[in-house]
Amino acid sequence: MKYGCLKVLMFCSFNIFLKSITTAQEMSVEAYAADCIKLLHDGDLIIQLKSEGKKLQALQDELFKGGEAYRQKVLKQISKTERARDSFNYYLIHYMNQLYDFSTTYFYYDNDRGTLMNNGFTGSFFVDSTLNKTILRHNSGQYYLLLPGTTPTQGLEALIVSEPKGSPLPAPFPSYYRRNNFKTWRNAIFYPSQVSQRDARYFAETLQKKLATYYKKCKKSYEL
């Protein structure tokens, strides 16, 4: 009887120990996420824009593989790709500048990422509101990246707030922002000529709202 009670007591103690470790780990992650939101609020969000470089290069390679009719078809596809790219990038910068004030923002094209990583994301590769590389970032302080990727469970296309090396910031930090959802689907169906503008505005508003809400929550819990 005594031996049986001892086994029960040891089992309960072990469970309490495991729960304590789990709680400490969760608190550690939550505290880290709270630190990240403060650092982002005081620092920079550096946003990667699509250059469509690989797609455009592939189309360029097709230009002389057929007759004139084929060449004209490829040229139209190149123009369509460039217009779609520039339209979304333009409106994203516009609405981020207009509706987002949670942190300072910088924008760069994905084909400049390697050079920027080597330079600590400083230099004159940053894009202005006219989509030209005229912005100089000389501040070497805290920053996070907004990168394209996929959600961890469903594998859906998303933009992700990430560490400088590219790892997503851990939950409960609001890192993931799906590119396709009911709102963007509705824009595509009912406002086909305004998709880039509406999607960019929706994204800027959502990013501002979620980050500000989480920051407010962390200020109460962690006295940021």
User: What residue ranges do the domains of the chain occupy?
Assistant: 42-222
Q: Please, which residues bridge with residue 153 across strands?
A: none
Percent over 90 (pLDDT), the chain: 79
- For the cut 80, the answer to whether the pLDDT of residue 214 exceeds it is yes
Percentage of the chain surpassing pLDDT 70? 87
Pairing of strands 44-49, 104-109: parallel
Model pLDDT, residue 141: 81
User: What average pLDDT does range 30-45 have in this prediction?
Assistant: 95
Measured CA to CA, the distance from residue 181 to residue 178 in angstroms comes to 7
What pLDDT is recorded for position 7? 45
CA atoms within 13 A on the CB side of 133: 13
C-alpha to C-alpha distance for 93 and 91, rounded to whole angstroms = 5
pLDDT of residue 223: 67
pTM (2 decimals)?
A: 0.84
Cα–Cα distance, 102 to 23 (Å, whole number): 30
Higher pLDDT among residues 170 and 220, named by residue: 170
Indicate if the pLDDT at residue 5 is higher than 70: no
Place of tokens 């729960």: 19
User: How far is the CA of 35 from the CAs of 19, 120, 168, 214, 215, in angstroms?
Assistant: 24, 21, 14, 11, 10
> How does the average pLDDT of the chain come out, rounded?
88
Q: Beta partners for 46? A: 106, 145
Phi, psi of 41 (to 5 degrees): -60, -35
Q: Catalogue the E-assigned strands of the chain.
A: 44-49, 104-109, 123-127, 133-137, 143-150, 157-162, 176-178
Range of lowest pLDDT (49-58, 76-85, 116-125)? 116-125
